[in-house]
Structure 1
Amino acid sequence: MATNKIRTLWVIGGGNMGGALLSRWCLAKVADRIVLVDPANIAVPAGCEKFPSIADVDGIPDIVVGAVKPHLAATALATLSERLDERSLFISVMAGLGLARIAALVPAGTPVRAMPNTPAQVGRGVTGLYADDLTEEQRMVVSKLFNAVGITHWLTEEGQFDALTAVSGSGPAYVFRMVEALAAAGIAAGLPEKAAHALARGTIIGAGELLRQDERSATELRVAVTSPNGTTQAGLEALDEEPGLPAVVRSAVRAAAARSREMGQEDQAD
């Protein structure tokens, strides 16, 4: 690969995550040629070619992104190594699969772990990355690819992936759950259902946009909206009552991280 230049990008699997990444990559034209490999009869974005199997695609890819369910990886990727060379990168977005397992599934090419989240679909994703022994050029290419769907963060140890998966990978679901809870609380407090859902959704969207645009920390933004002895302070005090929101969130992250570790162990057992 020339520096920061991707000639051919393959995405194996067009499900929720694969499809989200693919749509943004096609829009951003991150590669000269973008290919989806998936046997399902699914629509593809403009600028993308689709093939039912690896055998049907010609050429050698610069980058292959594995986006199938982890338990389907061995079957879906069985013939991939035959199509790669020493310059190829294989990037796994399959939760729970460590680099050793990825290298066993796809012995050819250089393995990279990535954990994006679903806001990648609208260009606001967060992607954690890790690999051993990448060249600076390869690292730049991988960063450029995932910067096209949001922001990236390179981990310093592979063992951090379970925690990252629990925070940013699963995090959007926690936010959506908060919208559901806030709307339900609004209905219980007397708001019409439609209004409660609109207010809850708009509030989370607005707060997120403020957090994006304002350089102050989340703590500073919270303090700025919390008047002493006001309504917000009363609500926050209720959120912190035993066990409290921080403890609940820690419990959620701990459970998600534990499940990420279990998924990796289950795959190794298979």
Structure 2
Amino acid sequence: MASDPLLPGPLWFVGCGHMGSAMLQGWLASGVEPRHVTIIRPSGRPVADGVRVLTDYPEDEVPAIVLLAMKPHQLDLVAAPLASALDAATMLVSILAGVELASLRRRFTAPRTLVRAMPNLPVSLGRGVVGLFGETADLTARAELMGLMAALGHAEWFEDEQAFDLVTALAGSGPAFVYRFIEALAEGAASLGMPAEQAHRLAIATAGGAAALAAHEGVGLAELAARVTSPGGTTQAGLEVLDADDALAALVADTLRAARRRGQELAAAARRS
């Protein structure tokens, strides 16, 4: 394999749904060579120019990195045939929500490096979040994976699997929760008389700008909210509704709790199978 700035060798995707496609898009935009990527998917549908798509595991190479990107319930359908294609040097990376490292190790004994990763959809733009947790003591492998994931946005290693599992609820599912709030802003403005399409555009631009400013300023979010708020002004009037009885904070906590609970159910199912 010719030199690639981000890959130590061939990269296989096992499955390529919405999240896998987003990661592929981000990596290709970051300079990964399409010819170094193979997608294994039953449909054989093409994904991007120059990227090889197969319906079975290739026999002409051993992958440096394998990304498990199918649905969690499909793990046992792919585990046995895939395991025989891997060797000790392969880095196996799973984005399967709720599937614990021990469940992966039970199915894949050869690779020295097993890593769980939890990305979110903005990785397609290089603006995503990727949480990482793994058992590898190989500092070179760890650094290579960090470089690969950092090309997709903000990447962080976690040393505790329970803390990592919260990444699924916060960052993995988080964009959907943020989209709901942006949609509520837009629909609220439309219900008060603003043209719906205009409200939609302004809500998206407002959320994007607010997030960019928060990342740039590096101060507490409460401080940023205070900068927007004048005593007795319009912002204070709106915040008094959001803050009443801590209803918004409680709703968000319940939302994250529900997402985490579902992850725990998926983990239990993987342990049983």
Which residue pairs with 1:181 in the alignment? 184
The correspondence for 1:85, drawn from 84, 87, 90, is 87
1:223, distance to aligned residue in structure 2 (A): 1.4
Please say if residues 26 and 34 of structure 1, whose CA atoms lie closer than 8 Å, have aligned partners that are also in contact: no
Give every structure 1 segment of 4 or more consecutive aligned residues whose post-TM-superposition deviation is greater than 6 Å.
none
1:67-86 to 2 correspondences below 5 Å: 67-86=69-88
Which residue pairs with 1:248 in the alignment? 251
1:42, distance to aligned residue in structure 2 (A): 2.7
Distance 1:144 1:30, change over 3 A: farther
The correspondence for 2:106, drawn from 100, 104, 107, is 104
The correspondence for 2:62, drawn from 52, 60, 63, is 60
1:262 aligned to 2:259?
Answer: no
Q: Tell me which amino acid in the other structure corresponds to 2:213.
A: L
Distance 1:26 1:113 in 2: 21
Q: Tell me which amino acid in the other structure corresponds to 1:59.
A: E
Please say if residues 10 and 34 of structure 1, whose CA atoms lie closer than 8 Å, have aligned partners that are also in contact: yes
Please say if residues 51 and 57 of structure 1, whose CA atoms lie closer than 8 Å, have aligned partners that are also in contact: no
Q: Tell me which amino acid in the other structure corresponds to 1:19.
A: S
Which residue pairs with 2:236 in the alignment? 233
Q: Deviations over 1:139-191 (max 9, x none)?
A: 10110111111111111211112222111111101110001111111122222
Distance 1:25 1:170, change over 3 A: same
1:201, distance to aligned residue in structure 2 (A): 1.6
Q: Tell me which amino acid in the other structure corresponds to 1:24.
A: G
Backbone CA RMSD of aligned residues: 2.0
Q: Tell me which amino acid in the other structure corresponds to 1:206.
A: G
Please say if residues 23 and 123 of structure 2, whose CA atoms lie closer than 8 Å, have aligned partners that are also in contact: yes
Distance 2:26 2:45 in 1: 16
Give the aligned length: 269
Q: Deviations over 1:16-60 (max 9, x none)?
A: 011111112122234671111112243322342211111x35211
Percent identical among aligned pairs is 37
1:220 aligned to 2:223?
Answer: yes
Which residue pairs with 1:37 in the alignment? 40
The normalised TM-score by structure 1 is 0.93
The normalised TM-score by structure 2 is 0.92
Q: Tell me which amino acid in the other structure corresponds to 2:101.
A: L
Which residue pairs with 2:128 in the alignment? 125
Which residue pairs with 2:150 in the alignment? 147
Distance 2:63 2:31 in 1: 16
Instruction: Specify every segment of 5 or more residues in structure 1 that has no aligned partner in the other structure, as ranges.
Output: none
